[in-house]
Structure 1
Amino acid sequence: MTDMMLAAPLAAALSAKGYDSLTPVQEAVSAPALAGRDLLVSAQTGSGKTVAFGLAISPEILNGQDTLLFADKPIALVVAPTRELALQVAREFEWLYGPAGAHLATCVGGMDYRTERRALDRGAHVVVGTPGRLRDHIERGSLDLSQLKAVVLDEADEMLDLGFAEDLEFILGAAPETRRTLMFSATVPKEIEKLARTFQRDAARVQVAGESRQHIDISYQALSVLPRDKEHAIFNVLRLHESQTAIVFCKTRANVNHLFARMGNRGFQVVALSGELSQAERSHALQALRDGRARVCIATDVAARGIDLPGLELVIHADLPTNPETLLHRSGRTGRAGKKGTSVLIVPPAEFKKASRILQAAQVTAEWGKPPSADEVQAKDDERLVAHPILSIAAGEEADLANTLLDTYGAEQVAAAFIRLWREGRSAPEVLSDAAVPTAAAAPARPRGEFGASVWFRLSVGHTGRAEARWLLPKICDAGGIAKDSIGAIRVQQDQSFVQIAEAMASRFGTQTQLDTDLVMDRIEGEPDLDARPARPERKPYGSARPERAERTERAPRPERSDRAPYTPKPPRFVEDGETADAPTPRKPYTPREDGDRKPYTPREDRKPYAPRDGAERKPYAPRADGDRKPYTPRAPREDGERKPYAPREGAERKPYAPRADGDRKPYAPREATERRPYAPREERADADRKPRWSPDDKKTRSTGFKSHGGSADKPARSGGYKSHSAEGGARPARPDGEKRPYAPKGDDARPFVKREGAPAKPGGFKSRDTDGKKPFARAKPAAAPKDARDTSKRFTPPKKPRG
């Protein structure tokens, strides 16, 4: 490690952590020849990749300094696919760059956004996060990548599988083009190579020596079990190994929840990890595994990616992985840092070929076998009990109690009780059915049509029972615990069926096996005659006389109807000359003519011209040539003098309309009163029913007592005290009560007007009149002056504020 030219803070951190030497991948990326270059590194899971890319980007972070100065913007960025892996990388960087005084910030989904933003505002040299949360910080402006010098994509293949390609492109697009980009992955598929070509410049491909031997510290086992014994086989495997920490992989969340409930009922200390859990629940589950409160973790592929569990010794594949990369990632959780691990595949007979293809593509060799039986699990428990180190410790404070137990119950009974207590806290082993092991899994494929030595069996169902090969195949596999490769031909007959079983597996069915309620499978000797057909009754040759039936009677002839007319064919619809209905003239068959044989159309010359009705002579239409037509000439506008006068209709003398000029019109003159004609009543009313028209001569002379007259003999003039009369005004003279008529109100309920006694007389002028008693004219308001001509000298001017 001293020959790698590591910086002093990093060397001190590795020595404090107990590193005596670097792993192959750490030595490869720290080579001086790769300094400053983009890297595409592929190494198996658990080979120390986190420390490897921490050492690889140390020149960009330290920049030749032993102690880092304040950084307002991050220098390095690490992107991880899951929250657990991002937090794990942050923990590794804390002790690796702790002596250099580096500040780290995490941006992980599910955490408090405000806390992360405050950490970024305080300044961080390295930022570790997941793609989604990092993009969120960049879009909101809380994360600035303008001074970024190095970017690391950890588990790049998994980020592409999870659909983070768009987020990665956004993050790398926001970073400077002069940055250094490093990609670490357990496998390098085509998608990773495409991403590397897009965002890396002249990347160096680092392939760790010995990568062809994947996971040399992991032993692979493939256990053949029946479908109904999958869960029981998992229980026995866990009980057989009794590892400190184990993980069971399932395909879906539903399988995780189902297996979690089953194992909890069996007494296993188990936790579950799936995508439906919150971040707090995931953290509690992982902490329980680290503290030892739980020993088994059931998880899906996505939820378990990136978790680092201490002492993980066993990995069980309850559901087969979908591809070789998933198998390597699952198994890579164990066998880390030189420790041994075991990866167990639970393989039903129907998935033998799939398991073989995945193992072959992953370049790993698995040991095929059967799951541990109940006796094997019990024997392993007894062996652990006898070899338990607590039995070799001398008695201490509990010696008195031990002697009391021995004296009371005896040594044999105390030992038996100890064994019962030991087994009570553990799940009882399960009894499994015997399943076939694919011994020929690695053998070359046999030629098509050759099955080898076999034994035939007869099934008690055929076409009449709606039997089909696809329905019989799984029943036969489950009954005998064999794979479908051990089954040859299946021939379904009318009332029975025949199946061909490999000779090595025939003993599993015996002479007779009950497959279902009404389905029995019997062994037969030799080969069945599949071409034989059931015997049919012998038929007599064609033409032989039928045997007469005794009960058959001759049918009486049908009586003829005398009233029915003989059949007469209908005559044709069109009868030509010379034809009759009885002897029609035979017609020639239709023969189509060719295009060259047809004559061109020639109009007839003997057609008569069109003759209109009612004797009107009309010339036939003769189209003119284009040259014969006269050009269209629009009419010139007529002058006012050229227009003809308006001709009124017959019987009405009407002068033509002549518009007059404005100067020729006479001014409007109202008619005098004498020129108006008297009103002419309507004819339908009689003159006697109408009143005579009013005449000015009939107007009576008003009395001088009115306000606008001078009075008369019958009504004297009013006194000068009224408003419109005497100019002198003065007080109104008092009148005797007898000379004034009392006030007569309109309604019956109104009270009569009574003059108050002693009321003073009103002065000659009212409040709104002048002294002479006349109402003054209303004075018009003066017109407003123009805006520019207004006097602005009297406008209000606010006082100025005093200075100071």
Structure 2
Amino acid sequence: MIKPLSEALAERGYDTLTAVQQAVTAPELHAADLLVSAQTGSGKTVGFGLAIAPTLLDDSERLDRAETPLALVVAPTRELAFQVMRELGWLYAKAGARVVSCVGGMDMRDERRALERGAHIVVGTPGRLRDHIQRGSLDMTGLRAIVLDEADEMLDLGFREDLEFMLGEAPAERRTLMFSATVPPAIATLAKQYQREAVRVTTTTGGSQHADITYQAMQVAQADAENAIINVLRFHEAQNAIVFANTRMAVSRLTARFANRGFAVVSLSGELSQTERTHALQAMRDGRARVCVATDVAARGIDLPNLDLVIHADLPSNPETLLHRSGRTGRAGRKGVSALIVPPKSAKKAQRLLKTAKINAEWMSAPSADDVLRRDEERLLSDPVWSEEISEEQRAFAAQLVDRYDAERIAAAYLAFYRSRHSAPEELSAADLPAAPKERQAFGPSTWFTLSVGRADGAEPRWLLPLLCRAGGLDKTSIGAIRVQPKETYVEIAQANAADLIAALGPDGEIEDGVILRQMDRAPDIKPSRPAERRGGKPGADKPRRIMPHSAGPKRKPKEAGKPSRAGSDTKEATYARKSGRPSAKPGAGRFDATEGTKRKPRKPEAKAFRGGGDEPPRRKKR
């Protein structure tokens, strides 16, 4: 590793590199284009900073005077661009690098002047960088490396055209490094088009997603969703927490609710200006705020230190968003909690998200008011204040308290004072909580039986199941698959209960009303059902329907003159007369205007003569 960068890492306390940092700094990859997929929070920024160092510094330890940029780093959001700028700033400080940012929402004139003074590394967002290139203020002729950070997010945000423009304007001999949490087909296509034999580097496999994050799926009643979020915030009392919602309206509502309950809260949504966003994030970093309510797009790329808790007030739309949200915590070896608020109607969606993302979450109830109060007591008893040295002033005041009140009164007052500084927890409903979704277990050893009724007899599993339970004294867990066929039904019975069922029915095997049960020698060979069967069609719906070609259909007989098209049908004039109450027209007397209800006269021949260039048109009478 180059000496100035290794010294900077040592000063920052980097004893060992992360997996992605070790992978991209391998000696054999110093000149290669890279397509890297790594989890959020795995140290990608420092990783690509180290990866491009040999390209920028060559064999020297310091960079020459800043002129045209040597490296261009593209990030999806302003916050991520500023974060990358800070990271590369300290990493390349000893190498004499000058890092400049170009992001939307900032003064473009200041950025142009900074570029004119010279820069080694330019970090920016796609739209603003393209604007500088088109205006001629960003010279890319000396570019040696381009880094696309969070490339998948940039495509999701609609920056594909901007990225293709910049990659097309850059020198052909530059290195191109793409870093992405996932590699969808769009990223693979972009890499194939603009990279030269890119080396694929993957560090997301071989372990669970975000091993330092504890996932919790909290079941709540529908009306208690927001109350549960308040209790989760109170239960953990995290130094920094972020609550994700799907809409701006939900962000505004939750922010107002939390502020009314005494939480130090800020919000992030698309309706905020860049100045407001910057102030909100700074409040989180310096401790003036502890809860941030945000939408997915507004929170992309932000890195909050000491973020210990992520709450999904609304479930994300896909597993990738779930991982991106949760990746805000559990960074750099710190532990974090990702809590999903799951009302009854969202239980199946939550299970699908967790399964697709390959996450093992703990299904649990949200903290109750008693749980929060007990947690407060635990925090109070373990507070470091108990082991601190007592000053003389404190000792004198403590003596006054002991003289005036007994120990129990003093302790109770201290507890009440401690609780008064925190929001009171909410009472949650204990009724109608959804059961935790369970994976379908294998039925186990079984014996197959056949019933003498099928679809033609109206057989359905919903009435066959209780019928079997009553007749054989079985529990529904002892009955497996029920496959209704056109003339019979196959039933799977647990092997342990098969003998009891046979004994209960006797030798004739009759259940009731002529329904006969017979044991089968082996499992039936059931063919895939037709669409009509899967939809629960009527008896006989499995028969193929004969479809006749148009030419083979019956021919219509020609209509006889003066005869209605069908029995009892009216002519147009008769229909009008019947509906309007007016007398019908006589044959040849003109036709009726349906809008006016009056008879319109036929067009006069003079009008036709005029169109052909003949006589003058007839004059209209004045009304």
Structures share fold, TM-score greater than 0.5 = yes
CA deviation vs aligned residue, 1:120-158 (integer Å, no higher than 9, x gap):
001101000000110111111100111111000000010
CA deviations over 1:481-536 (Å, ceiling 9, x no partner): xxxxxxxxxxxxxxxxxxxxxxxxxxxxxxxxxxxxxxxxxxxxxxxxxxxxxxxx
TM-score by length of 2: 0.70
Paired residues for 1:785-796 under 5 Å: none
| Cross-structure match for 2:232 | 237
Q: In structure 1, what residue type is equivalent to 2:311?
A: I
Q: Larger Cα Rg: Structure 1 or Structure 2?
A: 1
Normalising by structure 1, we get a TM-score of: 0.54
Change (3 A) 1:440 1:139: closer
Residue deviations 1:1-35 (CA, integer Å, cap 9, x gap): xxxxx111111111111111111100000011112
Q: Which residue of 2 aligns with 1:407?
A: 403
1:443 offset after TM fit, Å?
A: 2.1
CA deviation after TM superposition for structure 1 residue 294, in Å: 1.0
Structure-2 residue corresponding to 1:140: 135
Q: What is the deviation of 1:445?
A: 9.9
Match of 1:263 in 2: 258
Check if 1:428 corresponds to 2:424: yes
Structure 1 segments unaligned to the other structure (5+ residues): 1-5, 455-572, 574-804
Q: Find 2:273's aligned residue among 270, 275, 278.
A: 278
CA distance in 1, matches of 2:270, 2:461: 47
Give 1:411 shift.
2.7
For 2:403, the aligned partner's letter is D
Deviation (angstroms), 1:410: 3.2
In the alignment, residue 88 of structure 1 is paired with which amino acid? Q
Query: For 1:353, which of 341, 348, 360 is the aligned residue?
Result: 348
> Residue 287 in 1 paired to residue 286 in 2?
no
Candidates 53, 64, 78, aligned match of 1:69: 64
What are the Cα deviations for residues 213-242 of structure 1, in whole angstroms up to 9, with x where unaligned? 211111111111122100000011111111
Which residue type is aligned with residue 335 of structure 2?
K
The reply on whether 1:338 has 2:330 as its aligned counterpart is no
| Contact 1:43 1:211 (C-alpha < 8 Å) held by counterparts | no
The 2-side partners of 1:452 and 1:113 are apart by 74
Q: Is the 8 A contact 2:66 2:119 kept in 1?
A: yes
Three-state SS of the structure 1 residue aligned to 2:93 is coil
Distance, in Å, in 2 between the alignment partners of 1:99 and 1:449 is 75
Question: Which of 319, 325, 329 is the matching residue for 2:324?
Answer: 329
For the aligned residue pairs, the C-alpha RMSD in angstroms reads 1.9
1:380-406 Cα offsets, whole Å, 9 max, x none, are: 111111221112324212221221122
Q: Secondary structure at the match of 1:275?
A: coil
In structure 2, what residue type is equivalent to 1:431? E
2:18 aligned partner: 23
In structure 1, the residue matched to 2:48 is: 53
Moved more, 428-437 or 106-115: 428-437
The question of whether the paired residues in 2 share the 8 Å contact of 1:369 and 1:437 is answered with: no
The letter for the 2-side match of 1:409 is Y
Q: Which residue of 2 aligns with 1:515?
A: none
1:230, 1:368 → 2: CA distance? 16
> How far, CA to CA, are the matches of 2:361 and 2:156 in structure 1?
26
Paired residues of 1:30 and 1:55 also in contact (CA < 8 A): yes
1:113 paired with 2:108, answer: yes
Q: Is the 8 A contact 1:288 1:294 kept in 2?
A: yes
Q: How does 1:83-98 map to 2 (within 5 A)?
A: 83-98=78-93
Aligned partner of residue 325 in structure 1, secondary structure: helix
Q: Do the aligned partners of residues 429 and 445 (structure 1) sit closer, same or farther apart at CA in structure 2, a change above 3 Å counting?
A: farther
**Cα–Cα, structure 1 residues 54 and 451, in superposed 2: closer, same or farther, change >3 Å?**
farther
Structure 2 alignment gaps of length 5 or more: 444-459, 467-561, 563-623
In structure 2, relative to structure 1, the CA distance for the partners of 1:431 and 1:60 (3 Å cut) is: same
Give, in whole Å, the separation in 1 of the partners of 2:225 and 2:442.
Answer: 28
1:384 and 2:379 matched? yes
Q: CA deviation at 1:52?
A: 0.4
Q: 1:317 aligned to 312, 316, 326, which one? A: 312
**What's the secondary structure of 2:17's corresponding residue?**
coil
Query: Which whole-Å CA distance do the structure 2 matches of 1:411 and 1:343 have between them?
Result: 41
| CA shift in 2, pair 1:59/1:117, >3 Å | same
Superposed, 1:23-42 pairs within 5 Å as 23-42=18-37
Residue type matched to 2:440 in 1?
A
Matches within 5 A, 1:544-559: none
Q: Secondary structure, in 3 states, of the residue corresponding to 2:95?
A: coil
* Bigger fraction of residues in helix: 2
Give the secondary-structure state (helix, strand or coil) at the position aligned to 2:308.
strand
d(CA) in 2 for partners of 1:453 and 1:19?
Answer: 64
1:453 Cα offset (Å): 8.7
Q: For the Cα contact (< 8 Å) 2:38–2:204, is it kept in 1?
A: no
Query: C-alpha separation between the residues in 2 aligned to 1:30 and 1:45?
Result: 19
SS at match of 1:276: coil
| Identity within the alignment, % | 62
Deviation string 1:693-718 (CA, Å, 9 cap, x unpaired) is xxxxxxxxxxxxxxxxxxxxxxxxxx
Higher relative contact order (CA 8 A, sep 6+): 2
1:346-745 map, 5 Å: 346-396=341-391, 397-434=393-430, 435-443=432-440, 449=461
2:559 matched to which residue of 1?
A: none
